[in-house]
A and B are shown apart, each in its own frame.
Chain A
Amino acid sequence: MKKIAYILATLAVLALPCERVSAWQPPAAQDGFVPVEQLGNQEQLPAAPLVAGAYGVAWAAILFYVWTIWRRLARIERELADVARRVAPGGR
Chain B
Amino acid sequence: MTRLFTVLLIVCIGMFGYAPFLIVNAPYESTMGLVQKIFYFHVAAALTLFLSAFVAGISSAVFLFGRRPSADRVAVAAAEITVVLGLIVLVSGPLWARKAWGVWWQWDARLTSTLVMWLVFQSYILLRRYGGPGSERLSAAVAIFGAALVPFVYWSVNMWRTVHPTTNVVPTLDPSMRGPFLFCVLAFFCLYALLLTTRTALETRRAELEALYLALED
Partner-B contacts on A (CB < 8 A): 40-42, 45, 47-48, 50-51, 53-55, 57-58, 61-62, 65-66, 69, 72-73, 76-77, 79-80, 83-84, 86-87
Q: Is the interface of A mostly helix, strand, loop or mixed?
A: helix
Does residue B208 face the partner (Cβ distance < 8 Å to A)?
Answer: yes
Contact of A87 (CB < 8 Å), options: B33, B34, B215: B215
Query: Are A69 and B212 in contact (CB-based, < 8 A)?
Result: no
Q: Do residues B96 and A57 form an inter-chain contact, with CB atoms below 8 A?
A: no
Nearest CB on B from A37, distance (A): 17
- Shortest beta-carbon distance from A56 to chain B in Å: 10
Q: Report the bound CA distance from A79 to B37 in whole Å.
A: 45
By the criterion CB–CB under 8 Å, are A58 and B45 in contact?
A: yes
Contact A42 B38 (CB under 8 A): no
Chain B nearest CB from A34 CB (Å) reads 18
Q: Does B213 have its Cβ within 8 Å of any Cβ on chain A? A: yes
A54 and B92 within 8 A (CB): yes
Contact of A61 among B20, B84, B198 (CB under 8 A): B84
CB distance from A21 to the nearest CB of B (A): 25
B96-116 with Cβ < 8 A to chain A:
96, 98-99, 101-102
Contact of B42 among A41, A45, A54 (CB under 8 A): A54
With a CB–CB cut-off of 8 A, which chain B residues contact A79? Answer: 209
**Which residue on chain A has the smallest CB distance to residue B37?**
A51
Q: Cβ of A66: which chain B residues have Cβ within 8 Å of it?
A: 195
| B34 and A58 contacting across the interface, CB-CB below 8 Å | no
B205: CB under 8 A from chain A? yes
